[in-house]
Amino acid sequence: MELQNIRSLAVFKMRNIGDVLMITPALRALRETFPGARITVVVNSGTEAMLAHNPHVDEVLVYRRHEGKSRSGIYRRLRYELGFLRELRRRRFDLTIGFTDGDRAAWSAYFCGARYRLGAPHYSIGKYDPRRLIYNLPAPSSPPPMHEVEKHFYLLEKAGLKLRTPEPGPLCLVVPDDLRAWAQKEFAPLRPAPIIHIHPVARWLWKCWRSEAMAEVIDWLQTERGARVVVTTGPVPRERSRAQEIVRLCRTQPLFYDGNLSLTQIAALSAESDGYFGVDTAPMHMAAAVGVPVIALFGPTDQKGWAPWTSRRCVLSHPCACNQTRHRACDWSQVRACLAAITPAEAKTALNELFFASKTGARVSP
């Protein structure tokens, strides 16, 4: 590939919030490899905040997944899809990189007319993968176990792209100064106590720990460790309901933001806190990206692929059929067995070691 001829490139990551954060080390490496190129990142609506103010990105192009998605809006949807493809084609990309496994990124790359189209076809119809017609720089699927961050570098390497920095660095999430000042003002009445940010609920409730256990740990932090706890949750009603239940079970009163914060505000709270404790969800990755220590509760999700990408972490997890195989072995309506097996005592030990041990003696679990 003639690197000097790449003047404009597009990166497709049309997934969820945490997925978008996972590509930020690769974006840094692409900026170093193509310092003069214009880098556009294509993401789903609702995830674009993860790339706001990112110094390695020139433009974020948002794909609105639900635009006109109804029987009466079929023509509106068609107009939107054609308009989106025109926007891609208008930018005259020299190189597209598909970090998304689905079809949309592949076909978008094809119709935008880029000379080089890099991606990893990962499914087959019989023995034939139709996306091999699209990607002229194909790469094999990454071998397990490999973290999502590492998968992006693996794809770039196997497709023949020689990065100037071949090893992934930290995640990148920029919190503007005005939001940091807002978070500092919110925390002012709680200082000088240590502040622990807890996001106890995921969008998928089967990722959640037992409400009673979470409430016990919150009370322990505030009574036994002299910390102040800040609880956040997403705006979806079922998430708010679960978080409200946890706060009601608490004997102490944490500072509770009941689904009324933006993603960047949650990131600012994490950045100004002394650490994050919570379930496997987007704010967990955001906390890792802003550089605070992270203790994460993992259940069905494979921690080898999705653990917080930071050296200052501790992952609490127990083996279970649902996280050892791809089969959904646990009852989806209940707390998963792998999560239920995590005890408050284990959580307290991890919190003591990572957040409250001496700064030189704290242990960080891989």
In a domain, residue 65? The reply is yes
In a domain, residue 363? The reply is no
How far are the Cα atoms of 9, 68, 274, 276, 283 from residue 271, in angstroms, in the given order? Answer: 31, 37, 8, 9, 11
How far are the Cα atoms of 20, 79, 181 from residue 307, in angstroms, in the given order? Answer: 15, 40, 29
Looking at the structure, tell me whether residues 144 and 184 fall in a common domain: no
What CA–CA distance (Å, rounded) separates 354 from 208? 22
In a domain, residue 315? The reply is yes
What CA–CA distance (Å, rounded) separates 34 from 117? 16
The count of other CB atoms within 10 Å of the CB of residue 179 is 18
- Which run of H or of E encompasses 66? none
Looking at the structure, tell me whether residues 182 and 111 fall in a common domain: no
Closest to 309 (Cα-Cα) out of 163, 115, 105, 168: 168
- Quote the pLDDT of residue 125: 56
CATH code at position 270: 3.40.50.2000
Residues 119 and 135 sit within 8 Å (Cβ to Cβ): yes
What CA–CA distance (Å, rounded) separates 86 from 241? 42
Fill in the DSSP letter of residue 13: E
Residues 92 and 8 sit within 8 Å (Cβ to Cβ): yes
In a domain, residue 172? The reply is no
Fill in the DSSP letter of residue 354: I
pLDDT band at 248 (very low <50, low <70, confident <90, very high): very high
Tally helices (H) and strands (E) across the chain.
14, 12
Q: Is 323 exposed, middle or buried (0-12, 13-18, 19+ CB in 10 A)?
A: buried
- Quote the pLDDT of residue 109: 86
In a domain, residue 361? The reply is no
Closest to 138 (Cα-Cα) out of 157, 125, 111: 157
pLDDT band at 75 (very low <50, low <70, confident <90, very high): confident
Q: Where are the beta strands (DSSP E) in 162-215?
A: 195-199
Looking at the structure, tell me whether residues 152 and 191 fall in a common domain: no
Write out pLDDT tens, residues 166-204.
999 999 999 999 999 999 999 999 999 999 999 999 988
Q: Is 251 exposed, middle or buried (0-12, 13-18, 19+ CB in 10 A)?
A: exposed
Fill in the DSSP letter of residue 100: -
What CA–CA distance (Å, rounded) separates 145 from 122? 16
Please indicate whether residue 1 or residue 65 has the higher confidence score (pLDDT): 65
The pLDDT of residue 213 is above 90: yes
pLDDT band at 106 (very low <50, low <70, confident <90, very high): confident
Tokens of 95: 């190189």
Looking at the structure, tell me whether residues 154 and 182 fall in a common domain: no
- Quote the pLDDT of residue 359: 44
What CA–CA distance (Å, rounded) separates 271 from 284? 12
Q: Which residues pair with 8 in a beta bridge?
A: 38
In a domain, residue 7? The reply is yes
Global pTM value = 0.90
What CA–CA distance (Å, rounded) separates 23 from 168? 10
List of residues 6+ apart from 132 with CB closer than 8 A: 121, 138
Looking at the structure, tell me whether residues 236 and 330 fall in a common domain: yes
Looking at the structure, tell me whether residues 14 and 100 fall in a common domain: yes
Domain range for 43: 3-158
In a domain, residue 237? The reply is yes
Mean pLDDT of the chain: 89
- Quote the pLDDT of residue 143: 81
Looking at the structure, tell me whether residues 20 and 81 fall in a common domain: yes
The domain boundary residue, chosen from 158, 192, 221: 158
The backbone torsions φ and ψ at residue 61, rounded to the nearest 5 degrees and listed phi first, read: -105, 120
Its sign, for the CA torsion 345, 346, 348, 353, is: positive
Write out pLDDT tens, residues 302-333.
889 999 999 999 999 988 767 666 555 565 55
Q: Is 234 left (phi over 0), alpha (psi -120 to 50) or beta?
A: beta
Looking at the structure, tell me whether residues 310 and 194 fall in a common domain: yes
Closest to 51 (Cα-Cα) out of 27, 84, 32: 27
Q: What share of the chain is helix, strand, coil (3-state, %, to 5)?
A: 40, 15, 45
The domain boundary residue, chosen from 158, 189, 224: 158
Q: What's the structural domain count of the chain?
A: 2
Looking at the structure, tell me whether residues 252 and 154 fall in a common domain: no
CA dihedral 344, 350, 352, 353 (to 10 degrees): 160
Looking at the structure, tell me whether residues 264 and 340 fall in a common domain: yes
The domain boundary residue, chosen from 102, 130, 158: 158
In a domain, residue 163? The reply is no
Looking at the structure, tell me whether residues 117 and 196 fall in a common domain: no
Q: What is the mean pLDDT of residues 67-89?
A: 80
Looking at the structure, tell me whether residues 149 and 182 fall in a common domain: no
How far are the Cα atoms of 18, 90, 150, 247 from residue 195, in angstroms, in the given order? Answer: 23, 48, 31, 17
